[in-house]
Chains A and B, each alone.
Chain A
Amino acid sequence: MKLWKTLTMSAAALAVMTPAAMAEWQPRKPVEFIIMAGTGGGADQIARLLQGLIEKHDLSPRPFIPINKPGGSGAEALRYLQDKAGDDHTVMMTLNSFYTTPIIQEDLGVDVTQFTPIGLMAMDTFLLWVNSDRDDITDLDSYVSTVKEAGLDWKVGGTGSGQEDSVLTAMMEAAFDYEVTYIPFPGGGTVAKNLVGNQIDSTVNNPAEQMEFWRAGNTKPLVQFTAERMPAFPDVPTAKELDVDIEYYMQRSVNGPPGMSPEAVEWYTNLFQTLFDSEEWQEFCKSDGLTCETMMKGEELAEFHATQKDAHVALIEQVGADAITGE
Chain B
Amino acid sequence: MTVRTAELLMAIATLLMSLGLMLNVYTDELNIGWVEGRGPGAGVWPFWLSAGMALASLATLYRWFRGKTPESRSDAPYIDPETLFLVAVSAASLLGLLILMQIVGTYLSLMIFMVLYVRILGHHSWGTTMAFVIGTPVFVYLLFEVALTKYLPKGLPFFEEGFLFIDNLRYEWFY
Residues on A facing B (Cβ under 8 Å)? 3, 6-7, 9-11, 13-14, 28-30, 32, 61-63, 65, 152, 326-327
* B interface residues, tally (CB under 8 Å): 21
CA distance A28 to B161 in the complex (A): 10
User: Which residues from chain B contact A327 at a C-beta distance below 8 Å?
Assistant: 31, 35, 38, 41-42
User: Which residues from chain A contact B161 at a C-beta distance below 8 Å?
Assistant: 10-11, 14
Within the complex, which residue of A7, A9, A10, A32 is in contact with B151, where a contact is CB–CB below 8 Å? A32
Residues on B facing A (Cβ under 8 Å)? 31, 35, 37-38, 41-42, 108, 149-151, 158, 160-162, 164-168, 171, 175
When A62-B171, A63-B149 are in contact, do A9 and B37 touch as well, CB less than 8 Å?
Answer: no
Would you give the shortest CB distance from A302 to chain B, in whole angstroms? Answer: 28
How many residue pairs link A and B with beta carbons under 8 A? The number is 41
A152 touches B149 (CB 8 A): no
Would you give the shortest CB distance from B18 to chain A, in whole angstroms? Answer: 25
Within the complex, which residue of A7, A11, A29, A32 is in contact with B167, where a contact is CB–CB below 8 Å? A29
CA distance A13 to B35 in the complex (A): 65
When A14-B161, A14-B165 are in contact, do A30 and B149 touch as well, CB less than 8 Å?
Answer: yes
When A6-B162, A11-B162, A327-B42 are in contact, do A61 and B149 touch as well, CB less than 8 Å?
Answer: no
User: Which residues from chain A contact B165 at a C-beta distance below 8 Å?
Assistant: 6, 9-10, 13-14
CB closest chain-A residue, reference B167? A29
CA distance A37 to B31 in the complex (A): 26
User: Which residues from chain A contact B149 at a C-beta distance below 8 Å?
Assistant: 30, 63, 65
Please list 23 pairs of residues, one from A and one from B, whose beta carbons are closer than 8 Å in the complex, sorted by A's number. A6-B162, A6-B165, A6-B166, A10-B161, A10-B162, A10-B165, A10-B166, A11-B158, A13-B165, A14-B161, A28-B164, A28-B168, A29-B151, A29-B167, A30-B149, A32-B151, A61-B171, A63-B149, A65-B151, A152-B37, A327-B38, A327-B41, A327-B42
User: Which residues from chain B contact A14 at a C-beta distance below 8 Å?
Assistant: 161, 164-165
Within the complex, which residue of B31, B38, B42, B162 is in contact with A7, where a contact is CB–CB below 8 Å? B162
CA distance A32 to B151 in the complex (A): 9
Other A-B contacts than A10-B166, A29-B164, 18 sampled, CB-CB below 8 A, are A6-B162, A6-B165, A6-B166, A10-B161, A10-B162, A11-B161, A13-B165, A14-B161, A14-B164, A14-B165, A28-B164, A28-B168, A29-B160, A65-B149, A65-B150, A152-B37, A326-B38, A327-B31
Would you give the shortest CB distance from A55 to chain B, in whole angstroms? Answer: 10
CA distance A7 to B167 in the complex (A): 13
6 closest cross-chain pairs (CB), A and B = A10-B165, A7-B162, A10-B162, A30-B151, A63-B149, A65-B149
